[in-house]
Structure 1
Amino acid sequence: MLDFLKKSFQISIFIFLFFIFYIPLSTNAQNQTQIDAILGKAIQLFQEGNYLDAYIELEAVLKIEPHNTQALNYKLQCETNLGGTPSAGIASLTPNPTPTEPTPISTPQYTPKPTIAATSLPEDLATPSILLQPSPIPHQSIEPNTDSQNTILITPVVSPTKNQQLFIADPPGWVKQSINDPSQMAYFQLPNQQRIVIAELIVFQETLDSNKTLEEYLEYIQKNRLKPPEFELYVPLESKSTTLAGLPAVQHDFLFSNGTLQLKARSVLVIYNKIAYFFLFYSSIADFNQLETNFNQVLELVTTEEKNQSQPPIELSFVSQAGLVGIHVPLPQGTILKETSSNQTIYNGPNQSLIEIVVSDLIDQLKQAEAGAVSGKSFQNQSNLTAGSQVIEIKLYQYVENNRNFALLTAYYVGKPLLIIISLPQDEYQTAQPWLTQLIQSIDFT
């Protein structure tokens, strides 16, 4: 009897160990075999110069094993090779399954503009204030921007209509473009410091005549919109659930070609009161990972009409008195008071900036404050700007601190007791252009 129990116990232990160790090891072995096969194919494609095909295979490897070092390294090399060149070709595309199609009232054409990494922004659209590079025009005036107010205020994507439901602020760093397609709600371009367009964002709206799920509508988009000639070589990568403005949404990543460049896109789809909103962002494959943060910042500005009404914006401002002159300085959203003294107030501002406001009815004190701020800095440029009848002397400097390049901008209001000094990392300067311009030109003297 004892021997029988011993044998039974040994068998039980064997079965237990089999399920604990062998089966997981077997599963892992199968996964590893699959990874090795896909990775081998990707490497072969890479060596043949088929970087887009290799990129797609590497994406499949990383879905199974996200931290596979070899796949990550080859993916980075693929992105580098695909950054500004047409695709070397794609082996095959899996056709989309036939979905249940909604019947939209309108049929917008999702047409990407073939300008990324190929054209420059017009001079008057890129940066309304001075650049880090010397400007050929020493005197330049800033015209009030009637299209977008302070970024604290939420403005509608399009002109208000009866069916308008989603609202968005003009995103800092992006340049708003005119639109002719009635299905497009907004169109923005993102320039770099050389004024080259490196990403684009188009917002579409479509009214549906029946209730459809996000998944059903995405399938409809894939079948009917993401196709040639606007979307050559469409390759779906990943779709997942997310939220936008507190509403359920779906995010869909994919690759495509605009006929000139290989691009990577991220779309976010939300349906609200039978209106489908489609946010389409795209850039070169090589730039995508770096620029997706800029897209996420845009999505944070999206809100519903009801939310906008229940949470009115709060104006941030600096108010002071110097002699008989009252001063009102509207501040950008996100500004936080750092320190203050009798004639100087410093704020932590957006884009890792410091905003220093110096108020004095003695010009010598303002000049001394300016001299102290720019001491040791490299002078870059000067412009005399105007806002109404007010003349503003703008000077731009560069300096290095903790192995990082910084920009410093001074704004002196001629004949008024005010000096504004703004410093920020140089790589944040382009993104900060909208609120810098708004701050400088919106000073109110009474």
Structure 2
Amino acid sequence: MFNRVLIANRGEVAVRIIRACWEMGIETVAIYSSKDKESMHVKLADKALCIGPAEAGKSYLEVNRIIEAAKQNNVDAIHPGYGFLSESYEFAEKCLENNIVFIGPSPEVINTMGTNKMLAKEKVKIIGIPIIPGIEGIIKNKEHAKIVAGTLGYPLLIKAANGGGGKGIRKVCRSEDFERNFSLCVEESYKAFGNQEVYIEKYIEKPRHIEVQILVDKYNNVIILGERECSIQRGNQKLIEESPAAILENELREKLFDFSKAIAIECGYCGAGTVEFLIDEQKNIYFMEMNTRLQVEHPVTEFVTNVDIVKEQIRIAYGERLKYREEDLKVRGHSIECRINAEQPEKNFSASSGVVSSLNIPGGNGVRVDTALYVGMKLEPIYDSNIAKLIVYGRDRHEAIRKMKRALCEFIIEGVDTNIEFLLKILNSRKFIMNEYNTATLSEIIYESF
């Protein structure tokens, strides 16, 4: 097994990876920006190194500095977490060039399936899996794009070709709004991903967003760890996730699993990954994208399968065979995750800041909190607003909902505004309780609430 792993990330995901490494007997090296000097992941790692100033582009995205830090500290492998460099094939290549294991798939697979969404769609289309209708190829000229978009019809989406995490996406309902949204999407894409390429696809009305978790070892053994329902979203950013997806009947579920396996095999995948789909009101399935990394919502899958996905990532990267057989993995019970964000829902969800003056972490049977929070921690809107993930497990969906409500009421964070009360509104809404929601539901709840 690896002796030492560097975590090229921060916050709760860095803490999550450090904990997994501890339990596996692996030393950890953390990196941090000057703003994160007092962060929890810095305190927990065996060694921590300042990698640069607060700006992510000069610290957590500084590839050469991270590689140099890994070499100087005799690191065997680097875990990228999610966000930042987790889907950068250039970073994965740099690791390999310097004889450092990248804990994730190969650079080629990252580029084809994770980095460039158009390449992924082309790959999937070849093997006969339905994709969302759209305009083929990368769009660079907005005047020509507007003309071509008219043939596709409105509403439509303009999306960053190298996007992820819900960024670089613009919905356009009328032709007169196209040029402005095109320019904004190109600008957002460049700021977030350093790339101006975008593509256009049809907007699917009120779909369910379902993702399938896969694990694949270096010996082409593929296992499916069930699926997750991710339709409660704001601004294309997931807010509540659950597993299993109660909307799915067995036949539809098996079709999603078969599609995901076919994609993994076709692209030569290795590691933990997620294949994402949209399902419309007529139960048509459309491939959306693949995330070639650990997902923020992975804990709900861990609860219902009793598989530690981070440890499996590390074992696979080391070259071990999967010790699970798919027929032995049974999804049991129901799990829900809520993302706790430092934001002000009543002020258009603007980011909030402050010093955590009081903190009560909920507990009890079937309750898990992934966070890097502590009393005295200073929160500033520099990085992502997500400050904690609350995950619960119940015998069924009704018990899980009740447990989540109870845990949210116990979760006290003073000194900074959060979205906890808003999450309770969602959980108490009829559409959520009756499992009648879709990707548009949260917008309706927001409209009714404020």
| Shorter-normalised TM range | under 0.3
Structure number with bigger Rg: 1
Q: TM-score, normalised by structure 1?
A: 0.24
Q: TM-score, normalised by structure 2?
A: 0.24
